[in-house]
Structure formats: structure tokens, C-alpha cells
Amino acid sequence: MTRGDFILELGVEEIPASYFGPAMTFFKDRLVRDLKNAGLTHDRVLVWGAPRRLALGLWGLLMHQPDVEEEIIGPPLSAAFDSNGSPTKAAAGFAKGQGVPVAELYTQNTPKGPYLAVKKHVKGRPTAEILSELVPAILESLPFPKVMRWGDGDNSFVRPVHWLLAVLKGEILPMTFAGIKSGKVSYGHRFLHPGPAVITSPDEYTERLAEIHVLVDFEARRGMVVKEIERVIAEADSDLIVSLDEDLVDEVANLLEEPCAVLGRFDSQFLDLPLAVAATAMKEHQRYFPITDSQGRQAPYFVAVNNTKARSMEVVKKGHERVLRARLDDARFYWLEDRKLKLADRGEALKDVVFHHLMGTSYEKVQRFKALAKDLAARNCPELRDTVLRAADLCKNDLVTGVVGEFPSLQGIMGREFAMADGEPQEVADAIRDHYLPLRSGGGLPGAPAGAVLSVADKLDTIVGCFATGLLPTGAADPFGLRRQALGILLIMIDRGWNWPLEPLVDKAIANLGAVAQRPAKEVKNEVLEFFRARLKSHIQSLGVSSDGAEAVLGLYGDNPLAAAGRATALEAIKKRDGFRDLAQTFKRVVNIIRKFGPRDSIAKTELLGGEAEKGLLAAVTALEAGSKEYLARGDFAGLLDHIVTLRGPVDAFFDQVLVDDPDPEVKNARVALLNRTSRLFELVADFSRISTT
């Protein structure tokens, strides 16, 4: 069948940098899915994006939908014919609606019973017709955080639409979106090539756009940003180093069509600012790249990446320098003003800062998680109790400083700077900074135990407080970042080797809420623990553990992140061995016997176990019970599993040679008790009954 290529480009005003990725992924996935559902295959697909355009190319697209035989189900057979076997109105109406005589209807068995049905030949439609319907509908549903209206019409989109290029197999694909009719024309760089350019194929798209000064391929554009930064640093011929913030590089790449960098300079008087303050003023407010020297000290330079190469880049550089000076003046003013008051003297001001109207002030929150941190420190690092408590008193005080008010992302970072300037111990200052970590999925964890304790306490108070006041995350929204904070707690506990159950920590956090809680404590506790369990399962599966392996461990150890993670990875490794399924089946047989006869105390008259198979299993179980404590003490779950595997032979021999349901009740009790002891050894690692053996 005939195939052709398709190119689509939507031209708009500049789109926010963070909107590109989700929108293009959605557009690509949705169009591919809808074309597949329509029976239209293609060879490959690519998407492109730049500040003023979203584009997609399809190669080898089937140009006509295949004809299909479609079965259409009608009324139930019981309602289709009367007692004389004549068609009812239901049957006649169904046949008429499908354009066939009643004689062509047949009976089809369905899960609901027999129904009338008919097969119809459905003629395929031209791909052009289908695309003209699909594309505008998908564009309207793109998941932008915000949309806008413009002009006098009812059109809405992320930004006003200016052109729509849609070409299928060299011809314009007729369609309209946001009041704009499709054509073959694109437009280049706003300043370097504002005029039209004809595009007729996805093969020529990237090359033609590059000729008119637009790099539509994100990776190519990103690479150009990096090359431009490296170029101006090399041309400076100085002891300068730029640390490329990957997120900032991505953002800048999505703000430009043809990157061109310039190296700027600022007054050395601003070098007395903490590096974090100066860097943030550059990155967050201006999207500039800070520069350091080879010793890691702030250098009086920065790199700005522009969207065009001007006739005089010196003029451009001076413009950037004027703008940055104003930002650094503000930052320096706030820093010097904030230094007039010690960090420790700002705690009372937190009483005027509302954390959430349902959870009180930031001051009240500090008092809650300070009490929780005190308990955690006593459990893990009692020698750091004073450090933890001092850090707890100070860790939120930077929220009421001018610097953090101007640069909110510096909370914690500035707390450390102020603490160090005030002469606080290094451990206290570091804990203030680290208690916010991790900041994002995959982000760095606290580097010392004091910061880890404070981080867990703060995050747990937030999670429990939100659940207790009904501020629950949904599938569509998690405004307080509770999923991220729960995962952060789990990762910290695993990283620090804290072999603690979560339940008593949650109990303590709920108790600390006092009158803040608006829901029953038991209900909150159960929901919070299940919330953690779901995050823990996701984390365990991210380590390569199968779903059934994760469930087998979490069924017994879901309350202990460290215990669950260690067991799950060890279990997944042994699952790959030959004979593991037989081992799992053996355990399930043990469990089934226990369920049949009921659990027994493990202490029984072992002298009644006189058969060779009974004595063999008893000896193996006794030996492993003695050795298991050492494995558990050092967290060697792989070694423990290696020894548990050796139970398979004795257990199989027991079932082959021993009748558990002995006429003598004491003998039966002894045998069931032995199986109970065997089961408990397996359960030192996981609930093997949850492991799939199919």
C-alpha cells in the first residue's frame, strides 16, 4: 500500500522552557496511539521543539486506512424473536440500522449470553481525513500548566498561534487550529530570518530551519549552548572555570533558537557575598552561568547565552553587566542587613510565619519536629543530641531573612552561611543545610547523621500533619511534595543503615500534633504507613526486584525500609537460580499444612519425632536457627538465603516419608510444630507464599 511522509509545525509566541518536554512527549505518544488504533502504521516518528514552535515528523505513514471486517453486536437473542420464531422489533430495527436483511444476522455467544450480531465490511478512510481530525484535537488537549486567550476569538492555547505548517506527501494537509489554516510555510529566527520558508518534507525540516537560524533539535541546541560557554571561557585565557548546572543548561537551551554566548564581568566588591548568593542571583534571576577560579572561589565573571549574535557583542555584554549589577546590589543589601541580627535571635519571628493554616506556624512546626528529632537522636546518635537540638532551633530561622525572601531556593543554604558567620559549630551549620535534603528524586542525601535525623523529623512531621488534616496527595496533584519527602525518608534510613520500624516514629509524630490533628489517629497512622509502603515498593522495584518479590518481603517487613530493601535484593538474586520455584512450592506446601491443622507452639515434644526424615528436618532447622542470628546481625540476607535453600531437601523428604495427621495427637502436634519452626525460618527473609511459581 502507498506510504508517505508527514511534517507538522505549530508556530507560536515564546513558550515557557519547562513546558516543552511534557507537551512533546504527550503529543507524540497520543498521535502514535491514535494512528495505531486507526490501523495506520508508520516507519518512524520524531518530535522537535524550540521557543516559538512545536513540530513532529512521521516517515512511511500508510496513506489509506485498510478495509476491515467489523462485528457489530445487537440485541440479546432472548429479545430478538417471539414465541413463534418471528423477528421482534428489536431484531428488525437492528438489521435496518445496519443496512442488512434479518436473514444475515447470526447468533454470537458473549460473556453476557447469546446476542444477535452482524459482520459488516467497513471501508477504510484516507489518512489525510483522519489526520485532519486527530491533529487539532490532540493539540487542544496538550497538558500545559496554563493556557491563555488572545484577540476577540474563543481560541486558547499556551501562547498565541501564528502559523500552522501541515504537509502530507508533499501536499498541504487541510486543517484549522486556533483560527489558523494550514500551509507549507514556516518562519525562521525572529531577527536573523523573520521571513517565510517553504517546508515540504520532514527530511528537509531540521536542515532548512538551521539555514534560517533555528536549531529545532533540542540535543543539538543544548550542545551548542555548552560549546558557546566553553568558547568564551577559552577565549578569556584566564584561570576561569564554569560549573555547568545541567538543569540550567536545559532551561537556557529551551529559551533560544540559535545560541551565542558572551563573557561578562562584575565589580569585585560583590565577591564578599557568599558564593551561593551570587550564583543564585545569576542563575535564577538572569539565567547566567557563574564562574569560579581553579580554587573554587567566586570569580568576578559570568556567561550569558543570547538568542542572537548582534553586530556588537560588546554592547550586549555591557547590557548584561548593568542588569546583573542591580541584582547583586539587591543581594548584597539583603546580606549585609541580615548580618546585623544573629540567626539564633530570629526564632521568635517564626511565630508570625504561617506554615499552613491547618498546621500552625513555622515556630510550632519546629517545636514538633524538634521533639521527634530528639527521640531519633537518642535512638541513633545519642552523642549528637545537643548538635541535633541546636540545629533544630536554628534550621528554619533563615526563612525570615531578606536573602531567603529574595531567593527562596537558598533556604537551608543561607541558614548554614549565617550559622557559620555567627560562629556556630560546623556540625550544626551542616545539619541546617542538610535537613532539606534530598531536594529532588535522585538528589544528594544528608552527609552526616545530625542532618539526617533532622531531615527525617521535619519531613515526617509534614507528611503526618498533612494526612491528619486531610491534605492528602491525589493521582493528579501532590502540592506539598509528600511522595518526594516520603521517598527521601526511606532513602535516608537505608543510606544511614537505620534498622528501625516506621510505626513508632509515625505514632510519635501523630502524638506531637496534638490539637492540630483533625482525623482519628488510627486512621491517619494506617494511611501514612500504607503511603510509605507504596513508596518503598516503588523504590525496591527500581532496584530490579520483581513485583511479587517486593510483595513477598513487604508483607512481613514493609514497616522497616532497611530490612525490606536488603531482603528484597537478596531474594531477587536467588530467585534466578535453578530450583527456586520448587523451593517456593515447598514452602507453600508447609504453609498449607499449617493452615490445615492450625499453628502450633514451636516448643513441642521433639522426642516424638522418631523417623529419619523427621529427625533430619529437626536437625537442619535447629542448626539454621542457631546460625540465623549471626546472619541477621550483620544483615547478610544473601548468606541466610543460601542456608535456607538447603532446607528444601529435608522438607521434601519429610513430606515424602511422614504423615503429619498422625492418629496420636501429640505426635501430630510435634510434626506441625516442626513445620511451624521451618516456616519461621523462611519468614526471616520473606513470605514465600506470595512469590509467583507459574
When pLDDT is averaged across residues 54-78 and rounded to a whole number, the result is 90
Lowest mean pLDDT among 80-84, 287-291, 481-485: 80-84
Segment 434-477, tens digit of pLDDT: 999 998 888 899 999 999 999 999 999 999 999 999 999 887 78
When pLDDT is averaged across residues 330-342 and rounded to a whole number, the result is 94
Which residue in 291, 225, 297, 239 sits closest to 263, CA to CA? 291
The full DSSP string for 352-413 is GSEEETTTEEHHHHHHHHHHHHHHHHHHH-GGGHHHHHHHHHHTTGGGGSHHHHH-GGGTTH
At residue 506, the pLDDT reads 96
Tell me if residue 237 falls in helix, strand or coil: coil
Segment 177-201, tens digit of pLDDT: 999 999 999 999 998 898 999 999 9
Res 601 pLDDT > 70: no
Lowest mean pLDDT among 387-396, 478-487, 601-610, 676-685: 601-610
Lowest mean pLDDT among 269-273, 580-584, 651-655: 580-584
When pLDDT is averaged across residues 57-62 and rounded to a whole number, the result is 95
Q: What is the DSSP letter of 286?
A: I
Segment 225-271, tens digit of pLDDT: 999 999 999 998 778 888 888 989 999 999 999 999 999 999 999 99
Number of residues in the chain: 694
Task: Please give the Cα distance from 477 to 450 (Å, whole number).
Answer: 32
Cβ density class 280-289: b for 16+ within 10 Å, e for less: bbbbbbeebb
* CA dihedral (78, 84, 87, 88) positive or negative: negative
Task: Please give the Cα distance from 353 to 357 (Å, whole number).
Answer: 10
- All structural domains of the chain: 3-65+126-211 (3.30.70), 69-122 (no CATH), 218-338 (no CATH), 354-542 (1.10.3210), 577-690 (1.10.730.10)
How would residue 52 be classed by pLDDT, with cut points 50, 70 and 90? very high
Segment 614-646, tens digit of pLDDT: 888 888 888 888 888 888 888 888 888 888 888
Task: Please give the Cα distance from 439 to 492 (Å, whole number).
Answer: 12
Cell reading at 531: 503511603
pTM to 2 decimal places: 0.78
Contact 164, 139 (CB under 8 A): no
Over the Cα atoms of the chain, what is R_g? 34
Which residue in 494, 397, 396, 508 sits closest to 463, CA to CA? 508
* Residue 153: partners with Cβ closer than 8 Å, 6 or more residues away: 179
Task: Please give the Cα distance from 446 to 388 (Å, whole number).
Answer: 13
Q: How many CA atoms lie within 13 A of 444 on its CB side?
A: 7
The full DSSP string for 624-672 is HHHHHHHHHHTT-HHHHHHHHHTTHHHHHHHHHH--SS-SSHHHHHHHH
How would residue 561 be classed by pLDDT, with cut points 50, 70 and 90? very high
Neighbours of 117 (CB within 10 A): 19
Percent residues over pLDDT 70 in the chain:
99
Residue found by looking up cell 476491515 in the block: 68
* CA dihedral (628, 632, 633, 638) positive or negative: positive
At residue 446, the pLDDT reads 95
Task: Please give the Cα distance from 672 to 683 (Å, whole number).
Answer: 16
Segment 72-111, tens digit of pLDDT: 888 888 888 888 888 888 888 988 888 888 888 888 888 8
How would residue 18 be classed by pLDDT, with cut points 50, 70 and 90? confident
At residue 297, the pLDDT reads 87
* Residue 380: partners with Cβ closer than 8 Å, 6 or more residues away: 449, 453, 496, 498, 500
Which residue in 468, 465, 504, 500 sits closest to 485, CA to CA? 465
Per the DSSP assignment, residues forming a β-bridge with 186 are 197
Cell reading at 107: 447468533
Task: Please give the Cα distance from 114 to 107 (Å, whole number).
Answer: 6
Cβ density class 64-86: b for 16+ within 10 Å, e for less: bbeeeeeebebbebeebeeeeee
At residue 582, the pLDDT reads 78
- Amino acid code (one letter) for 506: V
The side-by-side arrangement of strands in the sheet containing 44-50 is 44-50, 53-62, 3-12, 161-168, 171-172
At residue 164, the pLDDT reads 96
Give the DSSP H or E segment for 122.
strand 113-122
Contacts 24+ apart (CB under 8 A), 234-239: 235/263, 236/263, 236/301, 239/293, 239/294, 239/299
Task: Please give the Cα distance from 584 to 551 (Å, whole number).
Answer: 14
Q: Print the SS3 string covering 583-595.
A: HHHHHHHHHHHHH
Q: What is the DSSP letter of 266?
A: -
Segment 106-140, tens digit of pLDDT: 888 888 888 888 888 878 899 999 999 999 999 99
Whether residue 438 is preceded by a cis peptide bond, meaning omega within 30 degrees of 0, is: yes
* CA dihedral (227, 232, 237, 241) positive or negative: negative
Which residue in 398, 419, 420 sits closest to 409, CA to CA? 398
Task: Please give the Cα distance from 378 to 385 (Å, whole number).
Answer: 7
Would you state the torsion angle of the CA atoms of residues 202, 206, 211, 212, taken in this order, to the nearest 10 degrees? 90
At residue 602, the pLDDT reads 62
Q: What is the DSSP letter of 204?
A: T
Task: Please give the Cα distance from 275 to 264 (Å, whole number).
Answer: 17
Q: How far is CA 205 from CA 185, 258, 327, 482, 579, in A?
A: 11, 16, 40, 43, 56
Q: How far is CA 407 from CA 285, 334, 410, in A?
A: 9, 10, 6
When pLDDT is averaged across residues 525-550 and rounded to a whole number, the result is 94
Task: Please give the Cα distance from 488 to 102 (Å, whole number).
Answer: 66
At residue 619, the pLDDT reads 87
At residue 604, the pLDDT reads 65
Percent residues over pLDDT 90 in the chain:
59
